[in-house]
Amino acid sequence: MKNKNDTSVRKLVICSLLASLTALLQISAALFPGPGHVLSAFCTLPIALAAFIGPSTGVMSIFVSTWLTLIIQPAELPILTLTTAPLGLVIGSGLHYSAKPLTVILIGTASLTAGMSLLTFGLGLPAFGPFLANKDFVPLILFYTGFAFIYSAAWFSFTGRIVKLLHRMGLLSYATKRE
């Protein structure tokens, strides 16, 4: 017989593992230039899985991964907190609540566009590096929005497939069991 504490401990352990994976993937860009940039793009997935288990679990995972990233590689912190983590939280929460795909994708687009804009115009860190650094405001926002829409749609589709796969394997049903 399982009690409520078993579920809480289970979620805490899963949250910790996903947060650690998020931080490792995020800092891989700084540690391994080139291949690490490809790996760092996948740090959205652990956050999305944590948020799918429960939005509060997703928030806890973001909090822990933010602190880990701050300790290990502080330069990666703005990218994590302004772009990948919010997108993962939106997508995972949308899947958790079975929201309409277009709604989740549009909210993800708004979140990612806002994060990239804040990175570029607020912190002076161009979201796409020197490639788009000298562009005007309106064309850049339009580019960010178009990119964010495609990126959010791709992540929503990919995360949905991963969730289905994990359910079929029986790995996610244990984590999301409610008592």
Mean pLDDT of all residues belonging to the chain: 87
pLDDT of residue 17: 93
Cβ density class 165-178: b for 16+ within 10 Å, e for less: ebeeeeebeebbee
Find the mean pLDDT for residues 113-136.
81
Note the pTM of the prediction, 2 decimals.
0.88
Residue 86 DSSP symbol: H
**pLDDT grade, residue 134 (50/70/90)?**
low
Q: Which residues contact 86 (CB under 8 A, 6 or more apart)?
A: 111, 112, 115
Q: Is the pLDDT of residue 125 over 60?
A: yes
Q: Which of 151, 169, 161 has its CA nearest to residue 52?
A: 161
φ and ψ at residue 124, rounded to 5 degrees = 75, 20
Instruction: Mark residue 99 as left, alpha or beta (left: phi above 0; alpha: psi -120 to 50; beta: remaining).
Output: beta
**Would the pLDDT of 178 be above 60?**
no
Amino acid sitting at position 132: L
Per the structure, the complete domain to which residue 20 belongs is given by: 4-176
Q: Name the domain count of the chain.
A: 1
**CATH number assigned to the domain comprising residue 13:** 1.10.1760
Per-residue pLDDT at 132: 65
